[in-house]
């Protein structure tokens, strides 16, 4: 075969691939919404219900599954392949020709269509999201992993017996071969620490079957790995779900949709923390590639999904990426994501670590941990070293699980802020290291004082939550006045008032969404999460 003929064949193949478009099809409604919310065990696990109740996260229409009848009908439409679904956005990710996808607009239950290729969206617009409303001390010989856990003082949490017990982490990644057999996870398996898994890309409940990438195996090892006297992860006693959404080495926006689908599954299972060592910016089809301006934490499908996971009470930890000055990918840009950059073993900036920019609405990265020469367990069960924010992220996620175990009454936003405030350059953050290297002992000590505040909070009534127009505030008799400030998701002050001990706050001017309400009394500053309907 001549090189010219080979070139023509390749060109034809690429044109055929790019003739197939990816799009999100948003649906008009769901079935049995009121009944499902009234009987939440029909759509969520008891652990998910308990977690939401503990952190004042309402169960709402976003928790109700997509109408399967609609999905089935779309699957029968000519030229259409259904690749993913999202209950949070009431949307389906489809692939097909532009003509076939546009024909879906004729279905009565299709509200809107948004293409991954923005050039095709001139005549479409993304709809408003209708559902957008939330003792024995452990002693370990860390071996090769000593430096990376001591850098953030996670070992001191372990010494206090905070090893992640009771916390559940979902690992969303590329592949988990040998996790079910290798010795580095024997302790985890013996403790029944793997609660389940699913391969969303291959639609296969056997998450270990696909061996195209062992990235997830390495990531998991930094948290859950254990080889006596040689290696200990940062959260060896946490529970884990393993979800594959990434199809290495190809890059297609369906992976964003699968990520959101996995996050929704994690929420329904009651997961506390998501670790995602994934990021998306450049795609095989350049028409799908995100611009720098798209990485504003609010635009890409995956970042919007990550923000919604935050609203649901999950703490999402994501790697910053390995693109250096070329910047972050999604969902690391999202305000609701705790974005982790990388340093070397000395705590100096690792030059590959993706830098934040003015495009992000909040400080990015948030913090950094060791990502250069991170200690990992390879899929052949040998201890080694690897580079990447893919490893600094789970090192941090596991350590956060230990911190949250120690401070169970705090919510995801409070835990994230404690870690930021403990970091080495909190007063002077930058786009390289964010707030710097955390000190989890300091975070724990500061958190214990917040925990005392929570005891005061039990005597403070703020209702209804969610709220529509009027928010009622009632303080204990010991408090006479309170300063009330509302902050939106990106930390901007949007409403402020000075009130007596029993007052009504008019919030009708606020847009729908999640807000942090800070109440400063004569004794304490108290924070609550408020949802505006």
pLDDT in tens, 165-192: 999 999 999 999 999 999 999 999 999 9
- H and E: helices and strands count for the chain: 14, 22
- Strand bridging mode 493-500 / 481-487: antiparallel
- Count of CB atoms situated within 10 Å of the CB of 325: 10
- Count of CB atoms situated within 10 Å of the CB of 449: 9
Report the run of H or E that residue 158 belongs to, with start and end.
helix 154-159
Tell me what pLDDT residue 4 has.
Answer: 57
Q: Do domains 146-454 and 459-532 have the same CATH topology?
A: no
Closest CA to 179 of 200, 202, 149, 199: 199
The 3-state DSSP class for residue 274 equals strand
Tell me what pLDDT residue 456 has.
Answer: 47
Cα separation of 117 and 104, whole Å? 17
Question: 286, exposed or middle or buried, with CB in 10 Å at 0-12, 13-18, 19+?
Answer: exposed
Tell me what pLDDT residue 9 has.
Answer: 52
Domain ranges of the chain: 146-454, 459-532
Q: What superfamily does domain 146-454 belong to in CATH?
A: Peptidase S8/S53 domain (3.40.50.200)
Listed in sequence order, the residues at least 6 apart from 308 whose beta carbon sits closer than 8 Å to its beta carbon are 62, 88, 89, 132, 263, 336
Query: CA 435 → CA 338, 427, 527, distances in Å?
Result: 12, 8, 21
Is the distance from CB of 389 to CB of 322 less than 8 angstroms? yes
Report the run of H or E that residue 5 belongs to, with start and end.
helix 3-18
- Count of CB atoms situated within 10 Å of the CB of 107: 15
Tell me what pLDDT residue 265 has.
Answer: 97
The single-letter DSSP state of residue 61 is G
Tell me what pLDDT residue 471 has.
Answer: 86
Tell me what pLDDT residue 138 has.
Answer: 57
Is the distance from CB of 473 to CB of 457 less than 8 angstroms? no
Tell me what pLDDT residue 523 has.
Answer: 60
Listed in sequence order, the residues at least 6 apart from 472 whose beta carbon sits closer than 8 Å to its beta carbon are 461, 462, 463, 464, 503, 504, 505
Is the distance from CB of 462 to CB of 176 less than 8 angstroms? no
Cα separation of 354 and 363, whole Å? 13
**Ranges of the chain with pLDDT below 50:** 8, 11-13, 15, 123-137, 453, 455-456
The string of DSSP letters for 508-523 reads TTSPSEEEEEEEE-SS
Is the distance from CB of 231 to CB of 377 less than 8 angstroms? yes
CATH class in words for 459-532: mainly beta
């Amino acid at each position: 075969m001549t090189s010219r003929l080979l070139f023509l064949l390749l060109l034809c193949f690429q044109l055929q691939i790019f003739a197939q478009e990816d799009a999100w099809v948003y649906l008009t409604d769901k079935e049995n919404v009121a009944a499902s919310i009234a009987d939440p065990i029909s759509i969520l696990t008891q652990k998910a219900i308990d977690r939401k109740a503990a952190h004042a996260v309402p169960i709402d229409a976003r928790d109700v599954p997509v109408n399967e009848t609609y999905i089935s009908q779309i699957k029968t439409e000519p030229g259409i392949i259904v690749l993913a679904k999202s209950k949070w956005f009431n949307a389906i990710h489809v692939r097909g020709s532009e003509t076939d996808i546009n024909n879906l607009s004729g279905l009565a239950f299709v509200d809107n269509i948004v293409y991954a290729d923005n050039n095709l969206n001139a005549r479409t617009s993304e709809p408003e999201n209708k559902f957008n409303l939330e003792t024995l001390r452990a002693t370990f010989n860390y071996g090769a992993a000593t430096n990376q856990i001591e850098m953030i003082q996670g070992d001191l949490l372990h010494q206090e017996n905070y090893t992640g017990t009771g916390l559940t982490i979902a690992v969303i990644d590329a592949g988990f071969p040998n996790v079910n057999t290798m010795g580095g996870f024997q302790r985890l398996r013996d403790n029944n620490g793997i609660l389940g898994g699913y391969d969303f890309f291959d639609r296969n409940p056997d998450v270990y079957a696909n061996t195209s990438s062992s990235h997830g195996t390495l990531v998991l090892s930094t948290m859950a790995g254990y080889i006596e006297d040689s290696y200990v992860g940062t959260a060896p006693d946490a529970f884990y779900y393993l979800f594959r959404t990434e199809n290495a080495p190809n890059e297609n926006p369906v992976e964003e949709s699968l990520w959101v689908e996995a996050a929704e599954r994690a929420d329904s299972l009651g997961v506390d923390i998501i670790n995602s060592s994934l990021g998306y910016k450049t795609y095989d089809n350049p028409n799908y590639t995100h611009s720098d301006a798209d990485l504003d934490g609010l635009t890409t499908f995956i970042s919007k999904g990550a923000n919604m996971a935050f609203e649901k009470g999950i703490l999402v930890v994501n790697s910053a990426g390995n693109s250096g000055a070329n910047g972050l990918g999604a969902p690391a840009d999202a305000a609701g994501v705790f974005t982790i950059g990388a340093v070397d073993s000395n705590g100096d900036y690792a030059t590959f670590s993706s830098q934040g920019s003015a495009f992000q609405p909040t400080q990015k990265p948030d913090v950094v941990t060791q990502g250069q020469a991170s200690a990992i367990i390879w899929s052949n069960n040998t201890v080694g070293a690897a580079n990447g924010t893919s490893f600094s992220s789970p090192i941090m996620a596991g350590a956060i699980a230990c911190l949250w175990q120690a401070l169970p009454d705090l919510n995801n936003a409070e835990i994230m802020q404690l870690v930021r405030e403990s970091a080495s350059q909190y007063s002077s953050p930058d786009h390289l290291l964010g707030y710097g290297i955390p000190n989890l002992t300091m975070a724990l000590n500061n958190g214990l004082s917040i925990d005392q505040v929570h005891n005061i909070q039990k005597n403070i009534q703020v209702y209804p939550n969610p709220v529509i127009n009027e928010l009622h505030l009632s303080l204990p008799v010991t408090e006479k006045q309170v300063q009330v400030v509302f902050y939106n998701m990106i930390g901007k002050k949007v409403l402020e008032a000075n009130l007596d001990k029993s007052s009504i706050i008019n919030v009708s001017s606020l847009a729908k969404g999640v807000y942090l309400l800070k109440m400063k009394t004569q004794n304490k500053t108290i924070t609550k999460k408020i949802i505006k309907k």
